Amino acid sequence: MAYKEAQQTKAIQLTLHKDKPLEAYYLGKKVFENESGKYIVQEFTKEDGTALEVWGFDMLNRKLVNVPKGCLTKITYTSTKVEGDKKHHLCTVFFDNKKVLVNVLKKDDDDIPF
């Protein structure tokens, strides 16, 4: 048996790409936990098969709960709204349920920790 070393993908921050749409197939999420708290990374694959991970933020995570796994998704970070000492990142999320990856496995997700 020939093993290959697994490579990590680099999670991107959408907040650094204002008004630049990301178009990829939504695969689900991963939850990471450390001493600072829980973090969500949303997983995608581009049409060419390239894996892509995106650091989640509240609005993005809440909207992606309603996107079926495997659907072609278009996400655009639009702005940051400041209320007092809190920043809220805003985005749009659209999906096309007619463009779906057929090999996406269905699995239960953990609840989003808010």
Cβ(57)–Cβ(89) under 8 Å? yes
pTM over 0.85: no
In this predicted structure, the answer to whether residue 61 has a pLDDT above a threshold of 90 is: yes
Percent pLDDT > 90 in the chain is 71
In this predicted structure, the answer to whether residue 114 has a pLDDT above a threshold of 70 is: no
Structure tokens at 69: 């796994």
Alpha-carbon span 29 to 110, nearest angstrom? 9
**For domain 11-100, which CATH number applies: 3.30.2310, 3.10.450, 2.40.50, 3.30.1380?**
2.40.50
Dihedral angle sign, alpha carbons of residues 87, 15, 21, 65: negative
Query: What pLDDT score does 6 carry?
Result: 80
Nearest 10 degrees: CA dihedral of 98, 23, 73, 90?
Answer: -150
